[in-house]
Structure formats: structure tokens, C-alpha cells
Amino acid sequence: MMILLLVLPLAAALLMLLWPRIAPLLALFSAAVCSFLALQLLLQVSEQGTRYWLLAGWPSGLAIAWQADTLSCLLILLTAVLQLLVGFYAFATRARDKLSQGFWPLSSLLQLSLTALWLSRDLFNLYVCLELLALVAVALVSLSGRKAIKPALNYLLLSLFGSLCYLLGVVLLYGAYGRLDIAGLVSQWQPNLLTNSALLLMSLGLMLKAALWPLHGWLPAAHAAAPAPVSALLSALVVKGPLFILCLLWLQLASTEQAQAMAPLFAGAGLAALLFGGWSALRTPFAKNLVAYSTVAQLGYATLALGLMLKFDQPLIFAALWLFVLAHALAKAACFLAIGEMSGTLGGKRLTTLKGASQTMPLAMFAFAVAGGSLIGLPPSGGFLAKWALLQGLWLQEQQLFWPLALVLATLLSAAYVFRVVVLAFDRADPVAPDFSPQVLPQWLALLPALAVWAMALFSEPLLLLLRLEAL
């Protein structure tokens, strides 16, 4: 089943190159089948426990290690479902937006690289996935045409630099231990200067790729320049890949002392991302930049949770980390699709074009507001679940008043930038007239993930339990 999850997108991508005319159908078909398979895999794994396997039957140490646990399966499912949704959106708007043919094979490759990344437990294989992911992402950004060349090139250079740093770390470890599977490395791990520097190098590269503060500078331009479906994929999924590896490194490889030493740095960076990202989102005059800065801020939650997890080693905080990621992926996809739809129809990139959108495009605006509710963390959305888990984890530690306070501040900031848009949409003084009559189907497609993130409430208890077990 896992093999099929990898082979199907690859085969689909190759077929698309041969037969471009049916590319959209192929992409949708493969995403649909993958969603179904991923769901099956998730059910199987949550019932029978984590599955490991070594590629091609080589002995451990030589072969590439793979592992499917509940977290990986959840992420695979998320990837496939979002791919399907965004595919539908791109298909529904193809007549209007003139998205290049290149989108379809690239999006299938994106799915392939992400699925492989969630499953790999081998540092070099992770590097390969990461590299493929970055190249595909850069190509997708550049689909926007000339205006996107500069941000895309910027993204490419920084991403290559990040990959190099990561690779350097991998090489150091390989030189010292002669193996790269994570399980094997853990058993021989020594906290010393060499592993310290390897960890730091890899983290630097990964933080750059995941746009974690203070290395987030490239993200707003790149995500804002891309076409709406691409921004949705980039913000929802692509930045989460490096974050996943970062968590693997620090939560599984690093020794307790190393983790303890790094914890305040991550927590601090997360907090700074929340504050600066939120502040920038409040200030920017462009609609898509606002959503992109909100991604920077929301990634701060994940970084903060990682830092606190390293510090307190509290399973609830780990659950909070991945709940943030899941909720953010769905909410952000909805935000980007809704904003893309609105600025496309109302004609303008500035935030002020959204004036009166609650009248002219109520559905898309509703989608943005609903998704924004989860970004703020209003109950019972997915964002609330994550925040609740984090708060519970924090209150379980004695004398922790600073972090809850910081969370309150960050939440207020996110509420401020979400409602900055919503209030503008209720401005009835002189609403911006649409350039053409708004399409209904794409607006519904934008609403779908927003509703899904609120529907996470229905699965809150199993989700929390599964993710909490994953941390042990």
C-alpha cells in the first residue's frame, strides 16, 4: 500500500508529460486514489501499530529505512486530500486563470516528494526528498510568469543553501558513524562537538527551508507571487516538510542535554515569529502578503511547541505541535484559495479591494472568516484544539505563567489581522464591484477546508490520544 502511495503520483506525473491533454484528470484521479489509500493506511496503522520496513530487503544499516506511524499517516492523508482539493480548484478555474500545463505534473511530484518525506527515517533519503520538494516548489512559484521570477530565484538560492547546510551535517554524521538510518544513529549517539555541529548545521538548513523566524524573509514574497492554488499548497504543506525533519532530529536523535540547550532558542524563535509575523500581517497593504505573514506567525506556534516540548518533554505539547500543523494546513489552504478567488474576481492585490466583500462575494469571505477563526483558535476549531493541548501541557508544569501570557498576546495579534480583513469586508460605504460575476464552485472549494478544520472537533479526542501516544 505504501509503495502504491509513492508509485502512483510518480507514474501519473510521467504519464502527464506524455499525454498533457488528460493531465488534470490524471492528477485528480491519482490524488483521489491516494487519499483513499492513505485513509486505509491510517486506519490500519492506528489499529495494528507502527509499521517499519527496509527497502529491497537489505539488512539494517545498508537499506533505506521507512516507517509508517500514525503521525506520518495523518500527514500523508492531509497531503493527498489537500492535493485533491487544490486540484479541483485549479480545474474549476482553468478557463479563467490560464494556469500553465506545468502545474499538473509538478503538483503530482510535490505529492510524491512529501509522501516520501513523511515516511523516510533515513537522513540521506530525507535529503533527497527535501531537494526534490524544493525544486518542485520553486518551479511551481515560477508558474506565475515574469513577475514571479525574482522571488522564485530568491527562493531557489536560499533553498539550495539550506540543502547544502543540511547535507554538510549529514556528511559529518556519516563520517563519524557510518550509517544514516535514524534508529541506528540513536543507538550510537554521543553528545559531542561533532554531533553538536552536525545538528546545528542541519537545523540551520531546515529552519531556512521551513521559513522559521528569523530565516523567514523569503516566504512572503514567494508565497504571494505564486498563483492561488500553488500558494495554498506551499503554505499548507511544503513548509511543513522541513519542520517534520527538524522534529525528528531534535526529538529522536539529539540527547537530552542537547535538547535542553536548544529548547529556549526554539521557544524564543517561535515567540518572535508569532509577534513579528503577526505585526507584519497587520501592517502589509497586500491581501496575499497578509496571509503569507500569517503563515510565518503560525509556524511560530509550531516552533514554540517544539521548544517547549524539548524543555518539558510533555506528550500533550507534542500533540499540540502537530495539531497546529494539521489545523494550519487546512485553514491556510482555505485562506489562500478564498483570497485568491476574491482578488481575482474583484481585480486587485491590495487589501482595500476586499472592501464590501461580505456583500459581493459572501461565500469566499465566509470561507476566509471561518478559516481565520481557526487561525485565532476559536472553539471548537482545530486551532483551538491545538491551543488547548498546549495550554494544558503548560499548566501541568508548575509556575508557568510566562508562556500562557505569550500565547494570549499572540492570539490577540492573530485576531487583529484576521478581523482587519473581516471588518473591511463589512464596509458597505462603497463596495468594490466585481470585474465579472463571481464563480460559485471555486468559492465552495475554498470553504471546504475551512469547514474541515472546524470538523476536526468531531475527531478531537482520538486525534489527541493518537498524537500523544506518538510522543512516547
Partner 1 sequence: MSPFWLSYLPLAIILSSLLPGLIIFTLKEQQVKLRIALNLLGVTVKLVLVLIMWQAVKAGAVFYFSVPFLPGAELVLQGDALSLLFVVLSSVLWLATTIYAIGYLENSPLRSRFFGYFSLCVSATVGLALSGNLVSFLLFYELLTLATFPLVVHRGTPEALAAGRRYLAYTLSGGLLLLTGVALLHSLVQSPQFIPGGYVSAVVSEHAGLLQLAFGLMIAGLGVKAALLPLHGWLPQAMVAPAPVSALLHAVAVVKAGAFGIIRLVYDVFGVDSMQQLQLAEPLMLLAATTILYGSWRALAQQDIKKRLAYSTISQVSYITVGVAMLGPLAAVGGLVHLVHQGVMKITLFFCAGNYAETLGVHKINELNGAGRRMPLTSVAFTVAALGMIGIPPTAGFISKWYLGLGAVATDNSLMLLVFVFSGLLNAAYFLPIVYRLWFLPQGGNWPKEQRLSATLETHWMLLLPMLFTAVLIILMGVFASTGVSPLSWTQLIVEREFSYD
Out of 176, 378, 451, 471, name the contact with partner 1 by CB under 8 A: 378
| In the complex, minimum distance from the CB of residue 395 to partner 1, in angstroms, rounded to a whole number | 4
Report if residue 404 touches partner 1, rule: CB under 8 A.
yes
C-alpha torsion sign, points 472, 464, 400, 331: positive
| In the complex, minimum distance from the CB of residue 409 to partner 1, in angstroms, rounded to a whole number | 9
Side-chain-side CA neighbours of 174 within 13 Å: the count stands at 13
Return the exposure string of 238-255: e unless at least 16 CB atoms fall within 10 Å of the residue's CB, then b: bbbbbbbbbbbbbbebbb
Report if residue 428 touches partner 1, rule: CB under 8 A.
yes
Nearer to partner 1, 347 or 362 (CB): 362
| Binding piece for partner 1, criterion CB under 8 A, among 17-25, 52-60, 337-345, 419-427 | 419-427
* Inter-CA distances, 38 with 79, 123, 451, Å: 9, 23, 21
| Binding piece for partner 1, criterion CB under 8 A, among 125-133, 200-208, 243-251, 403-411 | 403-411
Out of 36, 379, 402, 440, name the contact with partner 1 by CB under 8 A: 379
Report if residue 461 touches partner 1, rule: CB under 8 A.
yes
| In the complex, minimum distance from the CB of residue 37 to partner 1, in angstroms, rounded to a whole number | 28
438 in Cβ contact with 42 (< 8 Å): no
Out of 388, 413, 421, 454, name the contact with partner 1 by CB under 8 A: 388
Report if residue 376 touches partner 1, rule: CB under 8 A.
yes
Nearer to partner 1, 268 or 380 (CB): 380
Q: What angle do CA 31, 32, 37 make, to 5 degrees?
A: 95
200 closest CA partner among 191, 285, 119, 71: 191
Out of 1, 186, 396, 441, name the contact with partner 1 by CB under 8 A: 396
231 in Cβ contact with 223 (< 8 Å): yes
| In the complex, minimum distance from the CB of residue 423 to partner 1, in angstroms, rounded to a whole number | 6
Return the exposure string of 175-206: e unless at least 16 CB atoms fall within 10 Å of the residue's CB, then b: eebebbbbebbeeebeeeeebbebbebbbbbb
Nearer to partner 1, 126 or 407 (CB): 407
Nearer to partner 1, 53 or 444 (CB): 444
Nearer to partner 1, 206 or 309 (CB): 309
Out of 184, 426, 444, 469, name the contact with partner 1 by CB under 8 A: 426
CA distance 255 to 257: 6
| Binding piece for partner 1, criterion CB under 8 A, among 151-159, 179-187, 211-219, 390-398 | 390-398
CA distance 296 to 358: 26
| In the complex, minimum distance from the CB of residue 366 to partner 1, in angstroms, rounded to a whole number | 9
223 closest CA partner among 161, 294, 163: 294
| Binding piece for partner 1, criterion CB under 8 A, among 22-30, 64-72, 167-175, 405-413 | 405-413
Return the exposure string of 118-137: e unless at least 16 CB atoms fall within 10 Å of the residue's CB, then b: bbbbbbbbbbebbbbbbbbb
Nearer to partner 1, 238 or 464 (CB): 464
Q: Which residues pair with 282 in a beta bridge?
A: none
Out of 20, 184, 268, 380, name the contact with partner 1 by CB under 8 A: 380
| Binding piece for partner 1, criterion CB under 8 A, among 23-31, 176-184, 374-382, 435-443 | 374-382
| Residues numbered 302-361 forming contacts with partner 1, rule: CB under 8 A | 356, 358-359
Instruction: Calculate the CA 107 to chain-centre distance.
Output: 15
Nearer to partner 1, 12 or 271 (CB): 271
Report if residue 429 touches partner 1, rule: CB under 8 A.
yes
Nearer to partner 1, 186 or 423 (CB): 423
**Chain positions contacting partner 1, by CB under 8 A:** 356, 358-359, 362, 373, 376-380, 385, 387-388, 391-392, 395-396, 404, 407-408, 411-412, 415-416, 419, 422-423, 426-429, 457, 460-461, 464-465
